Chain A
């Protein structure tokens, strides 16, 4: 399945969907599939300032823990409390209910530097070949 084209992607398998100056951030379907059953999310609280590609938090599956990077710079304005309580939502709906945080974008131009859905799909197609 192609990745949704209404958002942009990082090489680290995060996505951001921008509406006005707000960016909603999550991880891709490929990422949740690779990680396996998620059991714990460690996300910063509202008000935290992050820079693009800074570590945003940690995401932990039954198998392993991995770092989560912010696709954009900005101020964290909302954490999805539902996924903190039920991390399996990220597995079930990585592009919908399983979103992680919302940020107020510091520099909307940053988004243009991120991968498009097509570019991201190419990246994971290559990753699966090797």
Chain B
């Protein structure tokens, strides 16, 4: 590189733990993160069948407090977060004025005047700037970055609630879906939410870094499989959860991405992008994010061209091998007339066509617990 510029990758507080576990470290959104420990497929299955733990400390964590925190956030995101009761959270989008997606986030209401917003690592600075830009000094709102002092881990899989009950007896009855709780454990405040990015049941936990290292070790010593970014990606793709920067970005709108359910448009409350989104809803969209499943061997990946009857109709926004289904899967924006289930499409794999079919979203849905 010129000018002697060096790219310094950031490390989470769990970096040494990853090395000790044989984690293979890779650069990701400016961070040095483990892509795998034992192997992506094994880690993937551990989460589907038992339980795995991910270091997600690279995710941005902003605490928004003050008498006007609720109304400020309501004006920033697409979902009616001001209507959340304390202890509940919801997935939401930050849109720009034209309805394009700036980030997908999770907003938790910790208390009446206190919110936590979890944002993508690659978007953290952008969202922080966006907030500063829209935060008028007259508003009684404080925004604090909670990332540096804390660790965030995701415990995911059918056994996750059992581990949670062992760890926090007061939560033994279970944490309701999308519920969150702040619990004092050995003198430190620990945030739990029943959320995740794998399509499995699970909890995400935020706590001070030193305590986070102890918690991570406890999980690993008690049989929880440490999982890296590789399994995180294959798990979220099977669940057809969009990846910001791949499946959604500023050039895509929530309707075509299948995220209409994340919009609260009819409560009268204004938010950035609402006018454009109302117009898009009225006009309808011309393309939809569709799920493709390979009908033969071969692996489709992000960026590969997709064609119908010999004519290119799109490019994959995500793609990979599904360990659960044993075949390759991917997502692509398709013109509405081609986005219906069973449509047959070819993915161009370095010059060779791979036969695929549009399938119902998501690829994988966890079995209903009894």
Contacts and interface: CB of A to CB of B under 8 A. Distances in A.
Interface of A: 36-37, 39-40, 42, 58, 60, 62-63, 65, 88, 91
Interface stretch (B32-40, B109-117, B148-156, B265-273): B32-40
A63 B298 contact: no
Contacts of B198: none
Nearest to B233: A62
Contacts of B350: 58, 65
B234 interface: yes
Contacts of B230: 36, 62-63
A39 B230 CA distance: 14
22 contacts: A36-B39, A36-B230, A37-B41, A37-B42, A39-B41, A39-B299, A39-B321, A39-B328, A40-B297, A40-B298, A40-B321, A58-B350, A60-B298, A62-B41, A62-B230, A62-B234, A62-B321, A62-B323, A63-B40, A63-B230, A88-B41, A91-B39
A62 B320 contact: yes
A63 B299 contact: no
A62 to B, nearest CB: 4
A63 B35 contact: yes
Nearest to A65: B299
Contacts of B35: 63
Given A62-B234, A62-B320, A40 B41 contact: no
A63 B34 CA distance: 13
- Residue among B230, B297, B301 with the most chain A CB within 10 A? B297
Interface of B is mostly: mixed
Given A58-B350, A65-B301, 7 more contacts: A39-B321, A39-B328, A40-B298, A40-B299, A60-B298, A60-B299, A65-B350
A36 B41 CA distance: 9
Contacts of A62: 40-41, 230, 234, 320-321, 323
B230 to A, nearest CB: 6
A37 B39 contact: yes
Contacts of B301: 65
A39 B298 CA distance: 8
B49 to A, nearest CB: 16
Contacts of A88: 41
Q: With a 10 A CB-CB cut-off, give which of A36, A39, A88, A91 has the most chain B CB atoms.
A: A39
A42 B354 CA distance: 12
A60 B40 CA distance: 13
Nearest to B40: A62
A104 B323 CA distance: 36
Given A42-B298, A60-B299, A62-B230, A36 B321 contact: no
B12 to A, nearest CB: 21
Nearest to A87: B297
Contacts of B328: 39-40
Nearest to B321: A39
B278 to A, nearest CB: 42
Contacts of B42: 37
Contacts of B299: 39-40, 60, 65
A42 to B, nearest CB: 7
A37 B297 CA distance: 15
Which residue, of A58, A62, A91, has the highest number of chain B Cβ atoms within 10 A?
A: A62
B36 A36 contact: yes
A110 B129 CA distance: 61
B298 A37 contact: no
